[in-house]
């Protein structure tokens, strides 16, 4: 199977637009791949989906470069200096590190299921609808905590926040759930303000998506070559450009809007997908 440059351009745009929005990039890529006539559970296509996420990660590293360096310096300083551990960035860095471990373990252990059985549009449709309910409940919980004056900012993130958000991030291995939707929802349940929950979601995306992309790049090199090196490069570059703009927009959006704004879109897409699949107009894999 080969991938055209038009296909790679479209997939790069979809990845960049949806990676950090709580709408599920994997779900949208799976739908798009099916519309383009690709075999969604083909090893090469599955690997391509993971590898072009590296473009979005490069965008994250560029956008949050100063924050990332600040956290790394605080973490390294805290390892050798007791006074440096009083800097909250040290604890925030540990929250990101510890929170990134569960998805790596679960993702590796269930890699065959994730790239096989779960790569079904039935799964995507149900997950889009089901997790929308979690996002709605997260906003309800957040509103209650805010009224009680219990909302917390980035300077109050704890190691437990990282553990809880990291565990919930594992749900995003199900196509249709959305990694950002899972982590932001978990942050809101924990009482973090939307901007802090969203920034933490970005930070946790870096190790998780980088590991997944590099693993697929190395383990599926043969299949990726069959799709074409040129289209792969185009997909990564396009996703980088689009993701950078998407990050800037989302941070502005969540500062004054609820994530439930995405629920109606998710539910509508999920219902439409169920109807299309049920009518036999499109196969699930």
Residues of the chain with pLDDT below 70 are: 1, 115-116, 223
Q: How many CB atoms lie within 10 A of CB 284?
A: 17
Burial of residue 104 (CB within 10 Å: 0-12, 13-18, 19+) is middle
Give the residue from 162, 170, 152 showing the smallest Cα distance to 200. 162
Say how far apart CA 134 and CA 106 lie, in whole Å.
21
Say how far apart CA 262 and CA 266 lie, in whole Å.
6
**Token code pair at residue 218:** 């190395």
Do 161 and 95 meet the contact criterion of CB atoms below 8 Å apart? yes
Q: Please report, for the chain, the start and end positions of each structural domain, with discontinuous segments joined by +.
A: 5-278
What are the residues facing 152 on neighbouring strands? Answer: 192
The pLDDT assigned to 1 comes to: 61
The pLDDT assigned to 9 comes to: 94
Measured over the CA atoms of residue 181, residue 182, residue 188 and residue 194, the dihedral's sign is negative
Q: How many CB atoms lie within 10 A of CB 228?
A: 19
The pLDDT assigned to 44 comes to: 79
């Amino acid at each position: 199977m080969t991938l055209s440059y038009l296909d790679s351009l479209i997939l790069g745009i979809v990845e960049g637009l949806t990676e950090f929005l709580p709408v599920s990039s994997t779900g949208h890529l799976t739908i798009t791949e099916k519309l383009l006539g690709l075999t969604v559970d083909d090893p090469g296509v599955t690997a391509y989906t993971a590898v072009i996420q590296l473009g979005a990660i490069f965008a994250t590293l560029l956008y949050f470069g100063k924050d990332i360096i600040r956290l790394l310096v605080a973490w390294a300083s805290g390892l050798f200096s007791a006074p440096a551990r009083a800097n909250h960035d040290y604890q925030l860095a540990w929250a990101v590190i510890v929170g990134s471990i569960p998805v790596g373990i679960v993702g590796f252990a269930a890699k065959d299921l994730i790239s096989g059985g779960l790569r079904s549009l039935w799964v995507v449709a149900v997950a889009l609808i089901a997790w929308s309910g979690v996002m709605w409940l997260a906003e309800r919980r957040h509103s209650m905590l805010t009224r009680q004056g219990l909302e917390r900012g980035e300077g109050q993130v704890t190691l437990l926040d990282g553990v809880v958000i990291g565990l919930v991030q594992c749900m995003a291995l199900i196509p249709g759930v959305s990694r950002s939707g899972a982590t932001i929802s978990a942050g809101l349940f924990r009482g973090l303000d939307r901007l802090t929950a969203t920034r933490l979601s970005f930070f946790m995306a870096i190790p998780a998506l980088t590991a997944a992309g590099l693993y697929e790049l190395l383990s599926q090199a043969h299949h990726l070559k069959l799709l074409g090196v040129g289209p792969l490069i185009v997909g990564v570059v396009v996703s980088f450009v689009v993701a950078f703009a998407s990050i800037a927009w989302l941070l502005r959006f969540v500062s004054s809007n609820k994530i439930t704004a995405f629920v109606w879109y998710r539910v509508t897409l999920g219902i439409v997908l169920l109807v299309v699949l049920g009518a036999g107009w499109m196969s699930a894999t």
